């Protein structure tokens, strides 16, 4: 079977995607597939026809990779492909609109709204502490945390890559948790302990940037709610294949009889990192799947249209 692995691309997460794609391609070759690696360019349509794959493995991250646009090209191309389709990808990537769906099915999400970037750089859009982030990017790029007593994040006035509208959210203190979902089933809860001030880009991808504890040492009702909400989010947004949901658990003076108000879902990622030490593959390994077996499952799960 010929598998084309899409990697790289044109987003700010290109370097991460190159690593994910190379690791997946290596694992799939060991599993016996005939693999072509495609460093995605604007002429993706021609690249796909030249590779002529039986299955397309999407290892892209960020805009143009997980926001529905590449998925639209893959729908037109007509070969089975992995991960989520157009609608789920576009919706999950739009943090503001996806939170409306998650809230509607009973998941607690952070308070927030869209504001013009230049206005947020000039005046506080809400009382600190709060977070300002792009509405449609991942990997903790261009995120500003404004603490109590600080002025607004004036530097983002020059950061045009964030877009004209930015998402402002109330800062949620607590422990960083994440849950991978495969085919609608939540695998485990991982606690991420960053070695930096917060779980920023360096903490995610630099060697030693964070410690992953799987399974997380949590009260059982906290674990159960995270697993339930991750599966529910995957279903509510229409995801396929594998996804990863991120949470904050505020256990400071926690009343564990009221955990619904102590756990907040931050977002869902339809294209989680795919190296052997990434969060989703770590949880799959905890569940008994090697990295190669996980990549094989993702290929076998591919379909068209998604």
Catalytically active residues are 13, 139, 205, 244, 246, 267, 269, 273
| Rounded distance between C-alpha atoms, residue 244 and residue 36, angstroms | 26
User: Exposed/middle/buried for 284, CB within 10 Å: 0-12, 13-18, 19+?
Assistant: buried
Q: How many whole angstroms separate alpha carbon 48 and alpha carbon 38? A: 8
Nearest CA-CA partner of 105 in 295, 265, 279: 265
**Max CA distance (Å), the chain:** 59
Check: CB of residue 246 under 8 Å from CB of residue 178.
yes
- Cis peptide bond upstream of 162, omega within 30: no
Residue 142 CB partners (closer than 8 Å, separation 6+)? 133, 134, 156, 159, 161, 162
Whole-angstrom Cα distance, residue 46 to residue 48?
5
- Rounded to an integer, what is the distance from CA 152 to the centroid of its chain? 27
């Amino acid at each position: 079977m010929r598998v084309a692995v899409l990697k790289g691309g044109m987003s700010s997460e290109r370097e991460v995607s190159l690593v994910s794609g190379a690791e997946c391609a290596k694992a799939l070759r060991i599993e016996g597939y005939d693999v072509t690696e495609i460093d995605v360019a604007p002429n993706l349509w021609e690249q796909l026809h030249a590779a002529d794959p039986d299955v397309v493995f999407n290892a892209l991250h960020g805009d143009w990779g997980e926001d529905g646009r590449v998925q639209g090209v893959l729908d037109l191309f007509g070969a089975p492909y992995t991960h989520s389709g157009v609608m789920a990808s576009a919706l999950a990537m739009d943090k503001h609109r996806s939170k409306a769906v998650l809230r509607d099915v009973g998941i607690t999400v952070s308070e927030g709204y869209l504001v013009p970037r230049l206005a947020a750089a000039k005046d506080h859009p809400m009382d600190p502490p709060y977070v300002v982030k792009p509405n449609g990017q991942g990997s903790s790029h261009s995120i500003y945390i404004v603490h109590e007593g600080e002025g607004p994040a004036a530097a983002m006035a020059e950061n045009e890559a964030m877009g004209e509208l930015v998402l402002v959210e109330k800062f949620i203190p607590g422990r960083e948790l994440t849950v991978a979902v495969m085919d609608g089933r939540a695998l485990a809860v991982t606690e991420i302990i960053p070695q930096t001030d917060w779980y920023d880009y360096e903490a995610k991808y630099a060697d030693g940037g964070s410690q992953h504890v799987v399974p997380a040492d949590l009260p059982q009702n906290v674990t159960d709610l995270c697993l339930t909400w991750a599966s529910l989010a995957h279903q509510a947004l229409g995801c396929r294949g594998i996804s990863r949901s991120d949470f904050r658990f505020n256990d400071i003076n926690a009343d564990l009889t009221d955990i619904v108000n102590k756990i907040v879902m931050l977002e869902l990622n339809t294209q989680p990192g795919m190296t052997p030490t990434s969060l989703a593959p770590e949880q799959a390994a905890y569940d008994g799947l090697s990295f190669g077996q996980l990549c094989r499952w993702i290929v076998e799960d591919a379909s068209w249209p998604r």
